[in-house]
Structure 1
């Protein structure tokens, strides 16, 4: 488990003062844990001994042990597919090794991918998931989704479903003038769904900051190391990325998107069914396949 996962899992066993430490950590993760005990205590509005008791409850032997775990995560947070491939490929040029990997490909996939999906769904915070579904199902809000180099595919997948079941959902426009027009009018009736995974992209953080500053809601889907956007997000949904290659898997994130879609359908009920029927009819009337 990452430090963030240990914090979230341990909050229910903590005193109110210790929970403040955990929330302070998650609000500015991981930076809040990389300073001193006194600094973290000040952020949480509590004392140094309370910080240490909280860390002990999570299983850390002390503050140095806790910070060492964070520093190890920082290395993972910035890993690229190339660095992962290089770290794993000391004998990658060996023909025998490559043949073995090809032979094990399906077996590895059967083991790794279902386990990562299962762990993601087991570890999703129920309150966060419910909050995300309620926001996405609210007919009074306008939804915009965006992602990164690969995760924009997930944003588009979500939006295409929301267009059918509730309307007022769109992908952040590629056209500069359309993007500026949308960002100019962001307000309290808007919800941003942002997908941001390791090697977190600065434009995504800037976009989330814009929505938060304008009083809109931000739903963040991220990996277990937590995007910097978590500091301004109203809802944080972490997913696994364990993969059988040097590229992080998006399968667990796709599973989460399908859970969100199912939740919106359930909440919207008859409204969703009517919208879907009307959507189908207008598609037929205008030859939209």
Structure 2
């Protein structure tokens, strides 16, 4: 509910830079992302050992990210972690000068713009390519609120292609889905702060079974980012105590459009048949 979110989190900056870094610094960046955020809180020497590079290499990466030194990077991360753990209760007392209507308009518009401007290059297209392939079974799963996004996406996928499943239930039901997930599958995970352990666990288990994982999350990144092949962060700035899903919904809409572009004319017959089935159902109910 704060007026402005951080421009870009450390993880977002690392993901944006990792492909352009010198090999040694790239090793540090990948080590940080794989163990994010806790690995970044280790001393320089410990991180250097973990990444099998020298301590000066770690310092160079910190400076390339815009920090005066590694200590400044860690200070920024600690502030970021406080935001990561924010709950509706801690956001409840924030006050605003604007009336609810204009405030909401400005916040949601800005949130959508920031989400798309900070989206890592090529990530949306990579997600679309995975989900446009009808030979790859697709699965969606979300948390307490974000399950709405998971359901919304799978409803579109079912009209465009076969083998699209929404994962429901708890741990025991999850096992029933996981047993059928393997290397040819794509799992789309929605997980936002304060991150849901069973959703993260599903992502980890799906990745361990060889599935490709597409993660929708917030700027601070769900722990599931450690196993994700594609990460699509969205801002959560909101005029209420509850984090907004409006930018994330816009991102889902953009993904659906990208999938349609990727598939071209392929789903047209399926969409037509879907419409015919709906029409037939309406005619039966009207008689």
For residues 180 and 19 of structure 1, do their structure 2 counterparts lie closer, same or farther at Cα, with a shift above 3 Å needed?
Answer: closer
**Could you say which residue in structure 1 is the equivalent of 2:25?**
18
**Could you say which residue in structure 2 is the equivalent of 1:48?**
55
**Aligned counterpart for 1:84 among listed residues 64, 88, 91:** 91
| RMSD of Structure 2 on Structure 1 (CA) | 2.0
**Could you say which residue in structure 1 is the equivalent of 2:79?**
72
> Can you list the C-alpha shifts for 1:65-110, whole angstroms capped at 9, x where unaligned?
1111111111111111111114x36xxxxxxxxxx75x52222122
Question: 1:58 Cα shift?
Answer: 1.2
Question: 1:225 Cα shift?
Answer: 0.3
**Aligned counterpart for 2:38 among listed residues 31, 34, 38:** 31
Q: For 1:46-195, what aligned pairs fall within 5 Å after superposition?
A: 46-86=53-93, 88=94, 101=97, 104-174=99-169, 179-195=174-190
Length-normalised TM-score, structure 1:
0.89
**Could you say which residue in structure 2 is the equivalent of 1:94?**
none
Aligned partners of 1:260, 1:244: CA distance in 2, in Å?
26
Aligned partners of 1:212, 1:261: CA distance in 2, in Å?
23
1:6 paired with 2:1, answer no
Question: 1:9 Cα shift?
Answer: 3.7
Greater shift after overlay, 185-194 or 171-180? 171-180
How many residues in Structure 1 have an aligned counterpart in Structure 2? 277
Question: 1:285 Cα shift?
Answer: 2.9
What 5-or-longer segments of structure 1 have no aligned partner? 90-99
Length-normalised TM-score, structure 2:
0.90
> Can you list the C-alpha shifts for 1:196-220, whole angstroms capped at 9, x where unaligned?
0011111011101110111111111
Question: 1:12 Cα shift?
Answer: 5.7
Contact kept in structure 2, 1:218 and 1:232, CA below 8 Å: yes
1:280 paired with 2:261, answer no
Aligned partners of 2:119, 2:63: CA distance in 1, in Å?
24
